[in-house]
Structure 1
């Protein structure tokens, strides 16, 4: 068996619907992907209270990261007067796609970037709790613990 062409195996774009139009976000270059990954890792470290590599953040600040992660779609969004919140959400979704995968980006997109909407809802938690509510069987090893003596007898021995 031979290796198939990778570009035929990978889905290398992201399609985001905004205002009745679909914007196709192309896969970033290796350089942009690596820089985006470094930025997201730095943000995670900072969120956990760790020390962040200022070089990584400085490099990201010098470049237009949203333009880079959106590729050609950025220009079309600006020309179509896409509102800022939609452009920003699109760029952040593309960053999630770059750093993780398409399914994570889809969850982020559909949650409108709200972390509380990313968590499973109460009904889903109840369904998963129901599966684990079955009592476990007791030990079948044949051993048992020795019962504690009644409290009254223990006090009499100490006297």
Structure 2
């Protein structure tokens, strides 16, 4: 098989076929990723959620659990992701009256041969979708803001942190 250049896509073979990357020869390292996103809504919707008046229940708690569960199932959702033994997943959801809405941040960590960026991004995405689902009866106009990687550490590529805008 031909060597890939540094700028090539690792999941595509020379023939263009999609493949799961073989990570067997990689070193186990501690790998961590942080992702973020937000859900913007009307101030009235934010107030209703914070006061516990959403018909479906505790929006923030359910969204947090949904995000954690999603991180653990990333390999079932994204076809070429490896199943991972995550050692830590956390999802923080904070109200932000300035949006108005909620800011969501997820952290995923493991010691292993492949990164956890997709797990952190999936956790944030599903937590945001869950907030939308649980409050859509109040506000169908909510928007899910940019979901993006904030930082990653570990592996051969080392550390990466998003630059300030």
The interval holding the TM-score normalised by the smaller chain is under 0.3
- Of the two, which has the highest radius of gyration? 1
TM-score, length-normalised on structure 2?
A: 0.25
Report which structure shows greater RCO (CA 8 Å, sep ≥6). Answer: 2
Normalized per residue, the structure richer in strand is 2
TM-score, length-normalised on structure 1?
A: 0.25
